[in-house]
Amino acid sequence: MINITIDGGQLDAYLAKPKEPGPWPGIILLGEVYNVNHWVRKVADGYAEQGFIVLAPDLYWRQEAGRYLDYTPEDQKIARALGFSMDLEAFTGDMMGYIKILAEDPECTGKVGTVGFCLGGKLVYLAMARGLADAGVAYYPVQVEQFLEEADGLTGPLMIHFAELDEHVPPASYKPVKAALGPLSNVDIFMYENADHGFNRFGYPPYHQPSADLALERTLSFLNTELA
C-alpha cells in the first residue's frame, strides 16, 4: 500500500509492478463493492505478472477511508451501502488523478487503461464514457443501464464481460446495454453461459473457472493491443 495525492486529497492505494524492467503500460484497477481487499490485491499482482504497472485506489476514501471488506453477509451489507452511495462526479476527478499518477510515472509507458469488477465495472464504463482512460475492461458491471445517456462520449475501446446467471445484472438491465453499446465498433460485449455475478472471483463462490480463464485471455489480448 502506498499513499497518493490527488486534487481532492490524500488516499491509500495498492501498487503492483512487474519484476522485469519497465516501462510498462498502466492499469487502474477498480475493485468490487468490497474495495481494495485481499482479493483485489491478488488480482493486481496477477496483472503485474503479465507486464502491467497496476494502481488499485481506495474507492471509499471520501466516505470511510481504509474500509476493506470481506465476503461475509455483514460486510456485504456495508459494502453495498458504501458502493451505491459513492459520489460519481467526484469519482471522475479522482480517476483523472489516478491516471495522471500512473501516466507520469517514469516506469509507465504513458498508456493507462482500467479494469473493474461489479461496482468497479460501472466505474470503468463511466471512465470510458467520460474520456478518461485509454482502454477499459468491465466485468459484470452493475447499473450501466442507468447511465446510457453518456454513451455518446464513448469513443475509446471498451470490453464488457457479462454473466448469464447474474441476478445483479438481469436481462432487464443487460438488454438495453447490449442494444445501446453492442452496435458500437469500439465496444466488445461477451456473455458467459452458466456463469454468475462474481465468476472471476477465484477462491470464492461463484467462481467459474472456464469463464474466468476465457475472460482473462480476451482481456489480456485486448489490453496488450490497445495499450501498446
Q: What is the pLDDT along the chain (228 residues), one digit of tens a residue?
A: 999 999 879 999 999 999 999 899 999 999 999 999 999 999 999 999 999 999 999 999 999 999 999 999 999 999 999 998 999 999 999 999 999 999 999 999 999 999 999 999 999 999 999 999 999 999 999 999 999 999 999 999 999 999 999 999 999 999 999 999 999 999 999 999 999 999 999 999 999 999 999 999 999 999 999 999
Residues 6+ apart with CB under 8 A from 78: 67, 69
pLDDT number for residue 103: 97
**pLDDT of amino acid 8:** 75
pLDDT at 7: 82
* Residue-level pLDDT at 206: 96
Domains of the chain: 2-226 (3.40.50.1820)
- Retrieve residue 188's grid coordinates: 466488445
Distance CA 126, CA 89 (A): 10
Handedness of CA 6, 146, 112, 27 (dihedral sign): positive
Residue in 102, 120, 112, 123 with CA at minimum distance from that of residue 200: 120
Q: What is the pTM for the complete model shown?
A: 0.97
Q: How far is CA 117 from the centre of its chain?
A: 5
Q: Quote the cell numbers at residue 50.
A: 503479465
